[in-house]
Amino acid sequence: MLPCAALGNTEKADAVSSATGSTDTFSPGELTEYEGQALDSVNNFRENSIAGVQNLDLASYRLQVDGKVSKPLALNLDQIKALPSVKKFVRIDCVEGWSVRVLWEGVPLKTILGSAGVAPEAVTVVFHAADGYTTSLPLVEILGKDMIVAYKANGLPLPAKLGAPLILVAQDKWGYKWARWITEIELSTDKNYRGYWEQNGYSNSGDRNGPQFEP
Ligand SMILES: Nc1nc2c(c(=O)[nH]1)N[C@H]1C(S)=C(S)[C@@H](COP(=O)(O)O)O[C@H]1N2
Ligand SMILES: [Mo]
């Protein structure tokens, strides 16, 4: 099994990859460009999650931040949206071969992790999602790239399909690092932690310019 690759469904795959850069699928109110650069519609995402689209109840939603932290958090959406937000224009690339360029808006992880107080021994940030999906990144990379978790895409609230209420904007990483429907951010000392697709042979560093599979 491959991330995002519905084998035998090439017709759909071709339709989506050729739609990259097109403007015919935008939702009403969706931004089509940002600072002179063309955006792709969020509708160009090819849905192939491990358990289908999750529809989380936003009113009761909590983001847990736990593990190796001095102050575990359970943030509701109002608290998350009250934090200073940033915009980032970042392309997501699935290993299947399609990509989508989106303007993301959300909160830097360093802000959230800062309020939780990361313990000095923590090296890995594990993302747990509502569908049971998991993935991880080294803490040093998250801070170095100033990665964000986004609740808006192309100027609109993040659609359920893209992970509402929160997606990890894992810039420079393959699509399987972009955890959607995040419910828990866990700080870990396990530098060899492997998430869902990583356990199935996909590269644990997940660098978009590197190999998809572990050598
Ligand atoms: N919670 C969760 N997040 C996930 C996934 C998933 O199955 N569950 N799939 C990943 C993969 S492989 C990709 S390419 C991106 C976009 O997935 P999509 O192709 O299903 O839109 O979401 C990532 N995040
Ligand atoms: Mo993917």
Ligand 1: does its nearest atom lie under 6 Å from the Cβ of 91? no
Across 169-173, average pLDDT: 97
The pLDDT of residue 16 is above 60: no
* Protein residue with its CA nearest to atom 15 in ligand 1: 175
17 Cβ inside 6 Å of ligand 1 = no
- Which atom of ligand 1 has the smallest separation from the CA of 94? 14
195 pocket-lining for ligand 1 (C-beta < 6 Å): no
What does the block give as tokens for 33?
């460009």
Q: Each residue of 89-116: pLDDT tens digit? A: 999 998 888 899 999 999 999 999 999 9
How far, in Å, CA of 200 to CA of 213, rounded? 9
* Mean pLDDT, the chain, integer: 90
List Cβ neighbours of 59 (8 Å cut-off, separation of 6 or more): none
Per residue in 106-158, pLDDT (tens digit) is 999 999 999 999 999 999 999 999 999 999 999 999 999 999 999 999 999 99
At 1, the pLDDT band (50, 70, 90 cuts) reads low
What are residue 65's DSSP bridge partners?
73, 185
Q: Give the pLDDT of residue 18.
A: 40
Ligand 1 pocket: which of 1, 12, 48 to mutate (most atoms within 8 A of CB): 48
Which of 131, 176, 208, 213 has most ligand 1 atoms within 8 Å of its beta carbon, as the pocket-test mutant? 176
> Half-sphere exposure of 11 toward its Cβ, with a 13 Å CA cutoff?
0
Per cent of the chain over pLDDT 70 is 89
10 has pLDDT over 70 = no
Query: Which residue, among 188, 120, 122, 177, has the nearest Cα to 149 in the 3D structure?
Result: 177
pLDDT at 9: 32
178 lines ligand 1 (CB under 6 A): yes
From ligand 2's centre to the CA of 149, what distance in Å?
18
Percentage, residues of the chain above pLDDT 90:
83
- Evaluate if residue 24 carries a pLDDT over 70: no
Task: Give the residue-averaged pLDDT of 195-213.
Answer: 95
The ligand minimizing its distance to the Cα of 49 is 1
DSSP string, 27-72: PTT---EETTEEPPPGGG-----TT------TTT--EEEEESBSS-
Burial of 81 (0-12, 13-18, 19+ CB in 10 A): middle
pTM, rounded to two decimals: 0.92
Find the mean pLDDT for residues 29-34.
96
**How far does CA 135 lie from the centroid of its chain?**
10
